[in-house]
Amino acid sequence: MNSENFSLSEKIVSSSYIRQGSQARRGHEQLIRVLLEQGKCPEEGWSESTIELFLNELAVMDSNNFLGNCGVGEREGRVASSLVARRHYRLIHGIGRSGDIAAIQPKAAGSSLLNKLTNSVVLDIIRQAGVRSASSCFVVPMATGMSLTLCFLTLRHRRPGARYILWPRIDQKSCFKAMVTAGFEPVVIENVLEGDELRTDLEAVQRKIEELGKGNILCVHSTTSCFAPRVPDRLEELAVICAKHDIPHVVNNAYGVQSSKCMHLIQQGARVGRIDAFVQSLDKNFMVPVGGAIIAGFDEDFIKEISKMYPGRASASPSLDVLITLLTLGASGYRKLLSERKEMYNHLAKELGTLAQQHGERLLHTPHNPISLAMSLSGLQAHSDQAVTQLGSMLFTRQVSGARVVPLGVEQTVSGHVFRGFMSHAEAYPCPYLNAASAIGITRADVELCTKRLDKCLKSLRKGASPGASGATAPPSGLEEDQGDAA
Ligand X SMILES: *Cc1c(COP(=O)(O)O)cnc(C)c1O
The single residue among 226, 241, 296, 437 that binds ligand X, judged by CB under 6 A, is 226
**Which is nearest to 282 in space by CA: 142, 90, 405, 107?**
142
CB of 433 to ligand X, least distance (A): 17
Distance CA 166, CA 170 (A): 12
- Yes or no: say if 348 and 447 are a contact pair by the CB < 8 Å rule: yes
Would you say 432 or 484 has its CB closer to ligand X? 484
CB of 254 to ligand X, least distance (A): 3
Would you say 175 or 331 has its CB closer to ligand X? 175
Would you say 254 or 303 has its CB closer to ligand X? 254
- Contacting ligand X within 230-259 (CB under 6 A): 252, 254-255
- Contacting ligand X within 260-289 (CB under 6 A): 281
The single residue among 149, 174, 424, 435 that binds ligand X, judged by CB under 6 A, is 174
Binding residues: 75, 97-98, 105, 271, 313, 398, 463
Query: CB neighbours (10 Å) of residue 418?
Result: 9
**Which is nearest to 168 in space by CA: 197, 139, 188?**
188
CB of 309 to ligand X, least distance (A): 17
When asked if residue 143 is in the footprint of ligand X (CB under 6 A), the reply is yes
The single residue among 65, 118, 120, 223 that binds ligand X, judged by CB under 6 A, is 223
Would you say 42 or 484 has its CB closer to ligand X? 484
DSSP class of residue 294 equals E
Contacts of 222 (CB under 8 A, 6+ apart): 167, 168, 200, 233, 235, 238, 249, 250, 251, 252
Would you say 91 or 262 has its CB closer to ligand X? 262
Q: What angle do CA 354, 404, 283 make, to 5 degrees?
A: 110
- Yes or no: say if 274 and 219 are a contact pair by the CB < 8 Å rule: no
How many residues interact with ligand X (rule CB under 6 A)?
A: 16
The region of 56-64, 106-114, 166-174, 214-222 touching ligand X under the rule CB under 6 A is 166-174
CB of 186 to ligand X, least distance (A): 13
The single residue among 136, 172, 390, 477 that binds ligand X, judged by CB under 6 A, is 172
Whether cis (ω within 30° of 0) applies to the bond prior to 141 is: no
Distance CA 103, CA 426 (A): 43
When asked if residue 424 is in the footprint of ligand X (CB under 6 A), the reply is no
Distance CA 352, CA 358 (A): 10
- Yes or no: say if 278 and 257 are a contact pair by the CB < 8 Å rule: no
Radius of gyration of the chain (CA): 25
The single residue among 96, 141, 145, 318 that binds ligand X, judged by CB under 6 A, is 145
DSSP class of residue 47 equals P
Residues that bind ligand X in the complex, under the rule CB under 6 A: 143-145, 170, 172, 174-175, 223, 225-226, 252, 254-255, 281, 484, 487
